[in-house]
Amino acid sequence: MSTSTEKLEREEKLEGIGCSRKRKEDPRFIQGKGNYVDDVKLPGTLFADIVRSPYAHARIKSINKDKALAVPGVHAVLTAADLKPLNLHWMPTLAGDVQAVLADEKVHFQYQEVAVVIADNRYIAADAVDLVEVEYEALPVLVDPHKAMDADAPILREDIKEKADDGKGAHKHPNHIFTWEVGDDEATTQAFNAADVVVTEKMYYPRVHPSPLETCGCVASFDKVKSHLTLYITSQAPHIVRTVVSLLSGIPESKVRVISPDIGGGFGNKVGVYPGYVTAIVASIVLGRPVKWIEDRMEHLSTTAWARDYHMTGALAADKEGRIKALRVNVLADHGAFNSHAQPTKWPAGLFSICTGSYDIPVAHAKVEGVYTNKAPGGVAYRCSFRVTEAVYVIERMMDILAQKLGIDKAEIRRRNFVKPEQFPYHTALGWELDSGDYPKALQKVLEAVDYDGLRREQQEKRARGELMGIGLVTFTEIVGAGPSKACDILGVGMFESAEIRVHPTGSVVARMGTLSTGQGHQTTYAQIIATELGLPSEDIQIEEGDTDTAPYGLGTYGSRSTPVGGAATAMAARKIRDKAARIAAHLLEVSADDLDWEVDRFKVKGVPGQEKTMKEVAWAAYNNVPDGMEMGLEATNYYDPPNFTYPFGAYLCVIDIDKCTGEAKVRRFYALDDCGTRINPMIIEGQIHGGLTEGFAVAMGQQMPFDEQGNLLGNTFMDYFIPTFVETPFWETDYTVTPSPHHPLGAKGVAESPHVGSIPCFTSAIVDAFSHLGVTHMDMPHNAYRVWRKIHELGLDKHE
């Protein structure tokens, strides 16, 4: 047996980085033994249900609880008046605003929480909800954000109307939340004035909802004797929840235990703190019994955090060859009734300034203005890093539009403007440092794989026959892994991530992280990282997350930050252990640590074959035979504050055929090439990409949260809200290149959100492309049959002879 074969075999046994090993979390899920929040059953649990407003904007004249309280099995009915003495009727939001826990004198959106009923079970609670009598006085409703700052617009937030300035710039109007600008306005104007060509387009990115299959909920259990609160919660960020709960309730963090058990999908929706959680906690404190609150799907779609709702205007200035000279983007952001955007504190529009994309744009300016309307609060990163989806959408749309204006192919216009491989690290006009990339290679690989020229020829032939076929193309760059704590914090806590690893005497490992898997398979991938770093089989490595009593503090999982930040923390903690292990091995082998080489799972004395100690042997020694002066044990903790974000990228291509008679668009082909740097578990990566593409498909082709003029939400069940089934979902083709991140300890960048961010503009690109020969430059989402048919009809393409 050759040495290299033997080494490879040892490597394979570890099932470490690069291995498509099967998931460690699956056995419990396939046997119905997952433990989700609604599965938590504590003795004596009561059930909370919420009375909600039928109006989008109204004054509460009175609330009568008597009939509800008279129902046998009802323990309490709480309103804002009951929470007020505890100062819990309002709560802070992640965006520096406040949000009503229970409506305080006024309701600001339809389905807003007005009262909470606590009863023996969910049946009695539901009956009692019907019996709470609330008298409302309807007020004028503000639905259109464009009218929010009109002189005669109804003023929504009476609670903060006197507040002239909250540190985010002067308020132009009581409904104005912030104006955020970045870039060089003047230089951008000059570049536009001097440009050969200018293209401008208005586009609306609709309000959509992440809607994981499990809705939100919690079980709050307050022990009056110990003054201790245990909270099982559907949260992607349990540690931050603990901090918020402690700040709100006054219970010290040491007496608050937050547990995120198995979570049935998050997609950004489960980052914030919702009124339902707070009311359950209060009820448990008041009643001294566990209280469960589980929302139904309508409540989920109507009141928990949505995403997007950006009215964007993009403009590009270029020379005749299509080389971009400047970018300008203006956004009107509809934030709903309370500013509960999930984002790092200093970034009112998240990381929207990544809107220069994959392109070498000398100068740019972006401005985002946020306003209140009578809609539910939200604004989370729905399977994306904060506002990156919107940013990628606007730049990718504008690239197509510029290509169209100049008569240049949309692949070629991208090639001409790419940041070139040799330009990395590349400083964008809006302040980011792109870490690594090879955009031309990714694009070329995709074009060849799908025979792009052949598709264009086919399209020509079809157009000649009057058929509608569209080819969409996107070459996106994401910004993920928030983030460097100098730039990013949540409620003042820096956005580091943490890992604590313990190697036991027999070489098995327990490791705990501050992140929280909602389906991404952390128990598997983190184990693989440790396996490779420590040379111990991933099978013997147990990963635990989500219990604030045991896991180190972390900011949680969203914005594709687990691998870039949590994965880095894991690698760094493992390396601390390996360093110590090296010194123990040196002691055992009676050499200096400098004389040792690390090879897969063991330390070898340089130049002396056979003189070696495996990590397993070292682990045993760590508990009985360490060098003088060294502490026993083999464990380490790392809090990793990344030096930069990571910038995954990709090239996507989509082919769509449109039925001219019905407007139905059929995705014939979708080819997704992703570069997420080092690939830890290719099987999981591919699964994440399938899922992200499917969510992108849902957003682009059907998701929307429409409101009527009275602010009523239309379509808040799965009948209307588009979740594609097996039948509608296209077949996905995936591919990859590997351009490691130079600053990440493993070179990994994060992947789960790229397919969502990248695919959405690709679908739009394909839909518009089907009509581009007729002068169409843009069509807003969702591209459902009805809306596509409207365009067909407007162009007179559906004439029947």
Partner 1 sequence: MIPSEFEYHAPHSVAEAITLLTQYPEEARLLAGGHSLLPMMKLRFAEPAHLIDINGIKELKGISEQGNVIRIGAMTTESELIDSALLNEKCPLIPAVARLIADPQVRNRGTIGGDIVHGDPGNDHPAVMLALDARFILQGPEGERTVPANGFFLGTYSVGMAADEILTAILVPVFASSTGYGFNKLKRKTGDFATAASSVVVQLQGESCADIRIALTNAGPCAFRAEAAEDLLKGQVITDALIEQAAQKVMAACEPDEDLRGDAEYKTHMSAEMARRSIRDALTKAKG
Partner 2 sequence: MTKKHISFQLNGRPVDALVEPRELLVHVIREQLGLTGTHIGCETSHCGACTIDLNGDSVKACTVLAMQADGGDVMTVEGLADNGALHPLQEAFMQEHGLQCGFCTPGMLIRAYRFLKKNPNPSDEEIRTGMSGNLCRCTGYQNIIKAVKAAAEKMQSA
Residue ranges binding partner 1 (CB under 8 A): 122-123, 126-127, 130, 296-298, 661-662, 664, 702, 706, 714-715, 718-720, 722-728, 784-786, 789-790, 793, 798, 800-801
Question: Which CB sits closer to partner 1, 510 or 723?
Answer: 723
122 binds partner 2 (CB under 8 A): yes
Q: Does the footprint of partner 2 cover residue 243 (CB under 8 A)? A: no
DSSP state of 491: T
**Residue 383 appears among annotated catalytic residues:** yes
State the catalytic residue, choosing from 390, 500, 635, 753.
753
**Nearest approach, Cβ of residue 731 and partner 1 (Å):** 16
SS3 string of 506-558? Answer: CCCEEEEECCCCCCCCHHHHHHHHHHHHHCCCHHHEEEEECECCCCCCCCCCC
Binding partner 2 (rule: CB under 8 A), the pick from 10, 13, 22, 576 is: 22
User: In the bound complex, what is the minimum distance in angstroms from residue 722's beta carbon to partner 1?
Assistant: 6
The full 3-state SS of 650-673, as one line of letters, equals EEEEEEEEECCCCCCEEEEEEEEE
Say which entry of partner 2, partner 1, none residue 225 contacts (CB below 5 to 8 A, set by partner kind): none
CA distance 327 to 200: 10
- Kindly state the tokens that stand for 40: 């938590």
DSSP string, 411-439: HHHHHHHBPPGGG-SEE-TTS-EE----H
Min separation Cβ 51 and partner 1, Å: 13
Helical pair 238-249 and 275-287, crossing angle rounded to 10 deg = 50
Per CB under 8 A, 30 contacts partner 2: yes
Residue 59, binding choice from partner 2, partner 1, none, Cβ under 5 to 8 Å by partner class: none
Q: In this structure, how many other beta carbons lie within 10 angstroms of the beta carbon of residue 243? A: 20
What is the pattern of x (binds partner 2, CB under 8 A) and - over residues 179-208?
Answer: ------------------------------
Residue at 634: amino acid letter: L
> Is 668 an interacting residue with respect to partner 2 (CB under 8 A)?
no
CA-nearest of 407, 374, 418, 476 to 756 is: 476
Q: Which does 202 bind (CB under 5 to 8 A by kind): partner 1, partner 2, none?
A: none
Q: Which helix (H) or strand (E) holds 287?
A: helix 275-287
Active site residue 753: yes
Within 728-767, the residues that bind partner 2 by CB under 8 A are: 729, 731-732
- Rounded to a whole number of angstroms, the minimum distance from the CB of residue 126 to partner 1 is 4
Segment 441 to 480, residues that bind partner 2, using CB under 8 A: none
Query: 741 vs 39, 644, 700, CA distance in Å?
Result: 40, 10, 30
Element (H, E) at 192: helix 185-194
Q: List the interface residues with partner 2, window 565-624 (CB under 8 A).
A: none
Contacted entry of partner 1, partner 2, none for residue 520, CB cut-off 5 to 8 Å set by kind: partner 2
694 counts as binding partner 2 under rule CB under 8 A: yes
Q: How far apart are CA 333 and CA 329, in angstroms?
A: 12
DSSP class of 359: B
The region of 146-154, 211-219, 440-448, 761-769 touching partner 2 under the rule CB under 8 A is 211-219
Residue 799 binding target from partner 1, partner 2, none, CB below 5 to 8 Å by type: none
DSSP β-ladder status, 307-318 and 90-92: unpaired
- Looking at 354-362, 504-512, 513-521, 655-663, which segment touches partner 2 (CB under 8 A)? 513-521
Single out the residue of 183, 322, 350, 519 in contact with partner 2 (rule: CB under 8 A).
519
Contacts of 562 (CB under 8 A, 6+ apart): 497, 515, 517, 520, 522, 750
Q: Which of 265, 362, 425, 484 binds partner 2 (CB under 8 A)?
A: 265
475 sits in which H/E element: strand 468-477
What secondary structure letter does DSSP report for 748?
B
Cβ distance to partner 1 smaller for residue 128 or 280: 128
Minimum CB distance to partner 2, residue 717 (Å): 5
Q: How far apart are CB 727 and partner 2 at their closest, in Å?
A: 5
How many positions of this chain bind partner 2 (CB under 8 A)? 56
Residue 71, by phi and psi: left (phi above 0), alpha (psi -120 to 50) or beta? beta
Cis peptide before 85 (omega within 30 of 0): no
Tell me if residue 94 falls in helix, strand or coil. Answer: coil
If contact means CB under 5 to 8 A according to the sort of partner, which of partner 1, partner 2, none does residue 468 touch?
A: none
**Which residues partner with 64 through β-bridges?**
133
Q: Does 38 bind partner 2 (CB under 8 A)?
A: yes
Return the number of the residue (127 or 184) whose C-beta is nearest partner 2. 127
Name which of 125 and 203 has its Cβ closer to partner 1.
125
Report yes or no: 314 and 203 within 8 Å, Cβ to Cβ. yes
As a whole number of angstroms, the distance between CA 95 and CA 372 comes to 13
Least distance from partner 1 to the Cβ atom of residue 784, Å = 7
Residues 6+ apart with CB under 8 A from 713: 110, 111, 301, 302, 375, 376, 705, 706, 707
Binds partner 2 (CB under 8 A): choice among 6, 26, 196, 579: 26
DSSP string computed for 145-187: GGGTTSTTSPP--GGGTT--B-SSSB-SSTTEEEEEEEE-HHH
Query: Bridge-partner residues for 74, per DSSP?
Result: 119
Q: How far apart are CA 58 and CA 141, in angstroms?
A: 9
Contact stretch for partner 2 (CB under 8 A) within 18-26, 441-449, 465-473, 588-596: 18-26
Kindly tell me which of 718 and 786 has the beta carbon lying closer to partner 2. 718
Q: How far is the CB of 785 from partner 1 (least distance, A)?
A: 7
- With CB under 5 to 8 Å by kind, the binding choice for 583 among partner 1, partner 2, none is none
Per the DSSP assignment, residues forming a β-bridge with 221 are 230
Q: Give the pair of three-digit tokens for residue 269.
A: 């929706």
Shortest CB 379 distance to partner 1, Å: 23
Does 62 bind partner 2 (CB under 8 A)? Our answer is no
CB of 265 to partner 2, least distance (A): 4
669 in contact with partner 2 (CB under 8 A): no
Choose among 635, 655, 705, 641: nearest CA to 301.
705
CB nearer to partner 2: give 32 or 609: 32
CA distance 141 to 706: 15
Nearer to partner 2 (CB atom), residue 212 or residue 566: 212
> Between residues 238 and 552, which has the closer beta carbon with respect to partner 2?
238
Place of tokens 């147990």: 542
Q: Catalytic pick from 19, 218, 384, 762?
A: 384
**Annotated active-site residue in 21, 207, 383, 679:** 383
DSSP 675-728: E-BS-S-HHHHHHHHHHHHHHHHHHHHT----B-TT-PBP--STTTS----TTT
Select from partner 1, partner 2, none the partner in contact with residue 127, using the beta carbon and a kind-dependent cut-off of 5 to 8 Å.
partner 1
Q: Residue 214, interface with partner 2 (CB under 8 A)?
A: yes
Say how far apart CA 785 and CA 658 lie, in whole Å: 9
Which residue out of 236, 404, 703, 704 is catalytically annotated?
236
Region of 56-64, 104-112, 398-406, 714-722 interacting with partner 2 (CB under 8 A): 714-722
Work out what residue 162 binds among partner 2, partner 1, none; the CB cut-off runs from 5 to 8 Å by kind. none
Output the CA angle 187-188-192, nearest 5 degrees.
115
Which of the listed partners (partner 1, partner 2, none) does 662 bind, with a CB threshold of 5 to 8 Å by partner kind?
A: partner 1
Nearest residue (CB) to partner 2, 32 versus 775: 32
Binding site residues, partner 2, CB under 8 A: 22-23, 25-36, 38-39, 41, 122-123, 211-215, 262-265, 267, 296-297, 518-521, 683-684, 686-688, 690-695, 717-719, 723, 725-727, 729, 731-732
Provide the annotated active-site residues: 236, 383-384, 753
